[in-house]
């Protein structure tokens, strides 16, 4: 059973910087290339696979969900079947079959990954707040291997595939979350003429159109253009909307030659109405935030379609990204790969949030819930600009030393990331009117007067990194995969804050709200990470492996913001948070290498976690967190007409607290007082399968299961402590009209299951799961 007791189907109502260059680095590396290339005269079949992967950005074209997909990064030196790590590739075809439009929707295809967390207490935000294997992974999202640090919702209209690597990944990507990383690979021009696109209309006024035009120019060049226009409601939610448009032109030069250049640009503009959630009043596990009013515990649940925001709520995003990729083959065994990225994202939002505490929930007539009101007490503001300039230089080489074959990948990476925010606040003591608990009205005009209050923050992180990977092959059956990376980071942070505010100092003789200097701090240091794995190949189509890997996240590493708070992991006085993972697993290519089966046992341990001394109430980096479990996946094609994408994971989590001054800390991360990690289902399952019938009809469907999930621990009273487990089933059918045109019907949540998709730390708010809905899409391709 889900949390919500009943669902009322809603009816129509209100309408609603400095750049880096790699020239010197490339020159110095190139001096050594002839000698390296000469170490082998003829590539072996094993080295052919490595060279092919290093030379081609996109890898092999994916049909359905076939396992011929290759990882895009040259840092991964082997095919997936021989890569000793849990990795799942989500193809564009799978995304298209499911009608997924955003990164978080596409990530439903990997078990146990989702946006389960709705924010701290009364605060919340927008965008891809992804949890994976027990930890927030939102700061470990990459585009073509380059970090994409912002809080926006990412569309997939220009995405070729999504690569999800699980476990510490600092050796590949630099600072990352302990749970792994997510890499979005953009579409690139190819040497063919093709035009495709789609027009979709669905329940709750969902409207979306995309187009993809690829044009060959001469013998070795091509141009590609992807465009998007979307104006959509959100299934099951009044007044929330997702409006965006985007354009992504790209040019490729030198295709099928030894030197290839890709020039990409992305521009996306969003004008959304964000979702602050729904009160948990009346749901199972809810008692009352006020012991003096026990009758609240018997209140009916609110309509999950209710919108408690206002018509002032907005989320405006402008994203621009330029990427230049250079690939040069010095020989069949040596390839240089360089990526230059400039990106800028500006986001301005106002999002209504609330906490249904005793003070904020008024019940003037206890016998008449229609008179009850909820204060719109927490306007969440953001006016933020993220910038990045980065250059990544990689050299991939295959050579032999005696009887040992080496597939080597090494490189240098330079980046500068900047964060600038303007502090927005309510002015002149203005507030929003309270919302009727059971019939909220968002039409408040300009009741809230807000604007800049003079505060600001500025953060900058410079990073220089060097890495080396090598796969050593000892005959046909044994391989050793080893990698090491050194990152040097330098973070500066400065701010001006309002005195008397949560983040500001006491005002003293100043007026409350006066702007005073805030935190002015910096931190720098070195991060070392490594990975080591032993691979045994009992057959050419399978592998068995044991692997160890590490990751690190320094203060400010997840947001570019430093904090003077003693309970913040972004305090510059703290050591970096570190993680290590042990994993054993096996991978097999079956059915003529159409289907990849994987199974792995893993344990990730995070150290330097903050814990509070119960006597002094001070925080110390002495805690540990641990998540361990099993993950099993099957991705590919059982027959040429039958495709499958399925995965199961279990996640057993725990924390251990250190000793301070002879006392043992007692903080618990979960609301029920247990030591399990919050926002982490104990087990999860996902599946999707399609079958092509002989008369132009493709049918498909899938199921998703998420186990029981604890929320975080705080002082909230009477709110649900966890979200219950749930199953959701989806279906799809596509009928081919002719070779240029087909119709696709997607049905979501076939049995109209009610469930909690995300819950906030205090348990006052939740996001309802998507109700039963549908989408009809016309696809064209020439």
Tens of pLDDT along 326-359?
A: 999 999 999 999 999 999 999 999 999 899 999 9
Question: What is the number of alpha carbons within 13 Å of residue 512 lying toward its C-beta?
Answer: 6
Distance (Å, whole) CA 201 – CA 209: 9
Tell me what pLDDT residue 3 has: 39
pLDDT at 607 over 70: yes
Burial class (CB in 10 A: 0-12, 13-18, 19+), 156: buried
Q: What is the mean pLDDT of residues 544-563?
A: 89
Distance (Å, whole) CA 221 – CA 262: 10
pLDDT at 167 over 80: yes
Distance (Å, whole) CA 470 – CA 484: 9
Q: What is the mean pLDDT of residues 646-656?
A: 91
Say whether pTM exceeds 0.85. yes
pLDDT at 613 over 80: no
pLDDT at 29 over 60: no
Quick: pLDDT tens for 492-510: 999 999 988 777 888 888 9
Distance (Å, whole) CA 60 – CA 56: 8
User: CB of 427 within 8 A of CB of 448?
Assistant: no
Please name the helix (run of DSSP H) or strand (run of DSSP E) that holds residue 469, with its range, or none.
strand 450-474
Q: Residue 95's Cα: distance from chain center in Å?
A: 15
pLDDT at 65 over 80: no
Ranking 327-336, 566-575, 653-662 by mean pLDDT, the lowest is: 653-662
Ranking 259-263, 344-348, 374-378, 465-469 by mean pLDDT, the lowest is: 374-378
pLDDT at 121 over 70: no
pLDDT at 157 over 90: yes
Of 390 and 427, the structure prediction assigns the larger pLDDT to: 390
Under the banding of pLDDT at 50, 70 and 90, the label for residue 68 is low
Question: Shortest CA distance to 583 belongs to which of 604, 606, 607?
Answer: 604
* 3-class secondary-structure state, position 296: helix
For 117, residues 6+ apart whose C-beta sits below 8 A from its C-beta are 129, 131, 136, 678, 679, 758, 759, 760, 761
For 368, residues 6+ apart whose C-beta sits below 8 A from its C-beta are none
Tell me what pLDDT residue 141 has: 94
Tell me what pLDDT residue 188 has: 97
Tell me what pLDDT residue 612 has: 59
pLDDT at 10 over 70: no
Q: What is the mean pLDDT of residues 36-48?
A: 38
Quick: pLDDT tens for 707-716: 999 888 887 8
pLDDT at 461 over 60: yes
Under the banding of pLDDT at 50, 70 and 90, the label for residue 620 is low
Under the banding of pLDDT at 50, 70 and 90, the label for residue 38 is very low
Under the banding of pLDDT at 50, 70 and 90, the label for residue 618 is low
Ranking 14-18, 260-264, 364-368, 675-679 by mean pLDDT, the lowest is: 14-18
DSSP E strands, 591-641: 595-612, 619-639
Of 443 and 119, the structure prediction assigns the larger pLDDT to: 443
What percent of the chain shows pLDDT beyond 70?
87
Ranking 256-260, 293-297, 677-681 by mean pLDDT, the lowest is: 677-681
Decide the pairing of beta strands 773-781 and 765-768. unpaired
User: CB of 85 within 8 A of CB of 168?
Assistant: no
Q: What is the mean pLDDT of residues 264-291?
A: 94
* 3-class secondary-structure state, position 562: coil
Q: What are the helix and strand counts (H, E) for the chain?
A: 6, 41
Q: What is the mean pLDDT of residues 261-266?
A: 98
Please name the helix (run of DSSP H) or strand (run of DSSP E) that holds residue 398, with its range, or none.
strand 378-401
Tell me what pLDDT residue 411 has: 97
Tell me what pLDDT residue 367 has: 94
How many residues in the chain? 782
Tell me what pLDDT residue 619 has: 65
Distance (Å, whole) CA 321 – CA 267: 7
Specify the DSSP class assigned to residue 493: E
pLDDT at 667 over 90: no
Distance (Å, whole) CA 312 – CA 449: 10
Tell me what pLDDT residue 404 has: 97
Look over the chain and give the mean of its residue pLDDT values, rounded to a whole number: 87
Decide the pairing of beta strands 180-186 and 141-143. parallel
Distance (Å, whole) CA 329 – CA 336: 6
Tell me what pLDDT residue 9 has: 36
DSSP bridge partners of 141: 182
Tell me what pLDDT residue 657 has: 64
Distance (Å, whole) CA 647 – CA 423: 43
Of 102 and 53, the structure prediction assigns the larger pLDDT to: 102
What percent of the chain shows pLDDT beyond 90?
71
Distance (Å, whole) CA 52 – CA 457: 46
Distance (Å, whole) CA 323 – CA 481: 30
pLDDT at 106 over 80: yes
CA distances from 651 to 115, 602, 682, 685 (A): 16, 9, 5, 12
Tell me what pLDDT residue 668 has: 61
* 3-class secondary-structure state, position 24: helix
Q: What is the mean pLDDT of residues 418-426?
A: 94
DSSP bridge partners of 527: 487
Of 460 and 6, the structure prediction assigns the larger pLDDT to: 460
Tell me what pLDDT residue 53 has: 40
Under the banding of pLDDT at 50, 70 and 90, the label for residue 615 is low
CA distances from 112 to 56, 87, 133, 651, 740 (A): 31, 13, 7, 8, 37
Question: Shortest CA distance to 164 belongs to which of 506, 633, 663?
Answer: 633
């Amino acid at each position: 059973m889900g949390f919500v007791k009943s669902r009322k189907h809603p009816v129509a109502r209100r309408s609603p910087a400095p750049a880096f260059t790699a020239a010197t680095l490339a020159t110095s590396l190139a001096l050594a290339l002839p000698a390296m290339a000469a170490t082998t005269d003829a590539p072996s079949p094993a080295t052919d696979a490595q060279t092919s992967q290093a030379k081609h950005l996109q890898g092999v074209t994916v049909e359905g969900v076939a396992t011929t997909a290759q990882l895009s990064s040259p840092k991964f030196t082997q095919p997936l079947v021989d890569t000793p790590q849990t990795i799942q590739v989500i193809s564009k075809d799978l995304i298209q079959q499911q009608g997924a439009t955003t990164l978080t929707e596409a990530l439903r295809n990997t078990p146990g990954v989702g946006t389960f967390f709705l924010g701290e207490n009364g605060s919340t935000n927008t965008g891809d707040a992804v949890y994976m294997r027990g930890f927030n992974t939102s700061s470990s999202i990459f585009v073509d291997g380059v970090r994409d640090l912002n809080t926006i919702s990412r569309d997939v209209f220009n995405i070729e595939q999504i690569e999800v690597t699980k476990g510490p990944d600092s050796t590949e990507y630099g600072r990352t979350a302990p749970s792994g990383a997510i890499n979005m690979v953009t579409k690139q021009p190819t040497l063919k003429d093709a035009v495709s696109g789609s027009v979709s209309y669905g329940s709750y006024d969902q409207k979306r159109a995309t187009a993809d035009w690829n044009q060959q120019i001469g013998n070795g060049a091509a141009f590609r253009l992807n465009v998007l226009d979307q104006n959509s409601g959100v299934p099951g939610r009044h007044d929330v909307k997702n409006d965006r448009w985007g354009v992504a032109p790209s040019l490729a030069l030198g295709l099928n030659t030894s030197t290839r250049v890709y020039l990409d640009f992305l521009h996306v503009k969003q004008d959304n109405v964000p979702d602050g959630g729904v009160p948990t009043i009346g749901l199972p596990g809810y008692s009352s935030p006020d012991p003096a009013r026990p009758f609240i515990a018997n209140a009916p649940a609110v309509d999950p379609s209710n919108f408690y925001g206002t018509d002032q709520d907005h989320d405006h995003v402008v994203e621009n990204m330029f990427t230049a990729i250079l690939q040069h083959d010095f020989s069949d065994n040596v390839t240089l790969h360089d990526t230059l990225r400039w990106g800028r994202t500006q986001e301005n939002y106002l999002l209504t949030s609330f906490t249904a505490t005793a003070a904020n929930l008024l019940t003037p007539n206890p016998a008449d819930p229609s008179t009850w009101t909820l204060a719109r007490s927490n306007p969440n503001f953001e006016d933020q600009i993220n910038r990045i300039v980065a250059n990544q230089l990689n050299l991939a080489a295959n050579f032999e030393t005696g009887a040992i074959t080496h597939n080597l990948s090494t490189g240098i990476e330079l980046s500068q990331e900047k964060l600038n925010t303007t502090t927005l606040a309510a002015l002149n003591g203005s507030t929003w009117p309270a919302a009727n608990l059971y019939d909220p009205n968002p039409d408040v005009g300009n009741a809230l007067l807000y604007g800049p209050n003079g505060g600001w923050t500025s953060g900058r992180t410079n990073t220089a990194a060097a890495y080396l990977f090598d796969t050593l092959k000892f005959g046909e059956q044994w391989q050793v995969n080893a990698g090491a990376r050194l990152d040097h980071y330098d973070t500066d942070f400065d701010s001006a804050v309002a005195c008397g505010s949560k983040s500001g100092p006491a005002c003293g003789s100043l007026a409350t709200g006066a702007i005073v200097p805030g935190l002015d701090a910096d931190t720098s240091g070195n991060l070392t990470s490594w990975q080591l794995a032993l691979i045994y190949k009992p057959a050419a189509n399978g592998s068995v492996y044991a692997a160890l890997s590490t990751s690190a996240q320094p203060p400010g590493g997840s947001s570019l913001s430093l904090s003077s708070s003693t309970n913040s992991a972004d305090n510059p006085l703290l050591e970096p948070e570190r993680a290590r993972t042990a994993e054993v697993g096996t991978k097999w290519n079956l059915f003529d290498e159409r289907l990849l089966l994987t199974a792995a046992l893993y344990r990730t341990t995070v150290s330097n976690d903050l814990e509070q001394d119960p006597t002094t109430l001070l925080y110390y980096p002495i805690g540990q967190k641990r998540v361990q479990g099993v993950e099993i996946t099957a991705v590919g094609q059982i027959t040429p007409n039958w495709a499958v994408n399925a995965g199961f994971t279990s996640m057993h989590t725990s924390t251990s607290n250190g000793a301070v001054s002879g006392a043992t800390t007692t903080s618990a991360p979960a609301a029920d007082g247990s030591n399990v990690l919050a926002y982490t289902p104990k087990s999860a399952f996902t599946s999707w399968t399609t079958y092509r019938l002989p008369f132009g009809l493709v049918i498909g469907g899938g199921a998703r299961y998420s186990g029981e999930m604890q929320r975080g621990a705080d002082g909230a009273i009477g709110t649900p402590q966890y979200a219950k487990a749930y199953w959701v089933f989806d279906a799809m059918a596509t009928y081919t009209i002719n070779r240029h045109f087909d119709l696709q019907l997607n049905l979501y949540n076939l049995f109209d299951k009610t469930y909690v998709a995300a819950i906030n730390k205090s348990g006052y708010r939740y996001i309802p799961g998507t109700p039963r809905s549908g989408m009809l899409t016309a696809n064209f391709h020439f």
